[in-house]
Amino acid sequence: MAEEGEEAPQPPQKRFYRQRAHANPLADHTLRYPARPQDMDWARLFPAFFPPGAAATPGEPPPRVEFADLGCGYGGLLVALSPLFPRTLMLGLELRLKVAAFAGTRLRALRGAGPGRGHNAACVRGNAMRHLPHFFTKGQLSKLFLLFPDPHFKRPKHRWRLVNAALLPELGFVLRPGGLVYTVTDVPELHRWMVAHFGEHPLFQEVPLAELDGDPVVSRLATATEEGRKVQRAGRPVYPAIFRRLPDPPPLPV
């Protein structure tokens, strides 16, 4: 919540944050990202979790992000998950400058609504196809979200797709064994593409949706985000798929 005498930030208005639908994820954007996760100013993003003057408890690691929403768009999933997991830090990575700014402002404004609202969620501009190990250490994350990723229908643009053979080892690096990747799309061909890529990778295994009956995230995958709501309004079907990070295979004999 805003301190006494300090004005709570206002929720952003979308009309000031409009941007072209697609940014090229392979282009050299002028993005700022830390050289290493420990160089990031996490306290600036999550001040409620790093109170000034509070000494770190010896032997206890500082709070760390556990959930990442890759291509979080306007931040709807983080808004929905923040009160469900109030002690869990979650970060959205969004490539488009104005969209990332909107999501960040929206989450900060939410904090004015009271404890447990948005304090654990933040968004930064970043390229999930290039910078994941700059933000997260090995095995740091327990959940990753790829909701309605851009389908890039034309074959020459398939290499712009977020799920691709080069990204999967990085997802496997930042996600801990047992961690989950949640995907959903309204494009059947992209769904098959994602299932095939994860299915072929030795670090991932598809989880039957029936196994995740009690998981409060599952029912929100298709409805919490702006893209999901658009699809819902249009009455189009959606295709969720969830993958578990398997344990590392034993090292090869030398």
3-state secondary structure 16-68: HCCCCCCCCCCCCCCCCCCCCHHHCCHHHHCHHHCCCCCCCCCCCCCCCEEEE
Task: Examine the residue annotation and report whether 186 is marked as an active-site residue of this protein.
Answer: no
Contact call for residue 73 and ligand SAM (CB under 6 A): yes
Name the residue nearer to ligand SAM (CB basis): 45 or 95. 95
Tokens (6 digits) for 99: 């969209």
Q: Torsions phi, psi of 68, nearest 5?
A: -130, 135
Inter-CA distances, 219 with 1, 19, 155, 169, 226, Å: 29, 29, 32, 27, 15
Exactly one of 45, 72, 174, 190 binds ligand SAM (CB under 6 A); that residue is 72
Q: Does 242 bind ligand SAM (CB under 6 A)?
A: no
Residues 6+ positions from 75 with CB-CB distance below 8 Å: 69, 92, 94, 102, 103, 104, 106, 107, 121, 123
Residues 243, 205: contact at Cβ < 8 Å?
yes
User: Which residue of the set 150, 186, 215, 248 is catalytic?
Assistant: 150
Region of 31-39, 68-76, 112-120, 189-197 interacting with ligand SAM (CB under 6 A): 68-76
Pairing of strands 89-94, 65-70: parallel
Give min distance, CB of 55 to ligand SAM, in A. 35
Q: Binding string, 154-173, against ligand SAM, x = CB under 6 A?
A: --------x-----------
Count of chain residues binding ligand SAM (CB under 6 A):
24
Q: Out of 8, 23, 238, 246, point to the residue binding ligand SAM (CB under 6 A).
A: 23
- Nearest distance in Å: CB 254, ligand SAM: 36
Query: Minimum distance between the CB of residue 210 and ligand SAM, rounded to whole angstroms?
Result: 24
Task: Please report how close the Cβ of residue 124 comes to ligand SAM at its closest, in angstroms.
Answer: 10
Residue 140: name the closest of 170, 105, 95 by CA. Answer: 170
Which positions are catalytic? 150
Residues found near ligand SAM in the complex (CB under 6 A): 23, 25, 70-73, 76, 93-96, 99, 127-129, 147-150, 162, 225-228
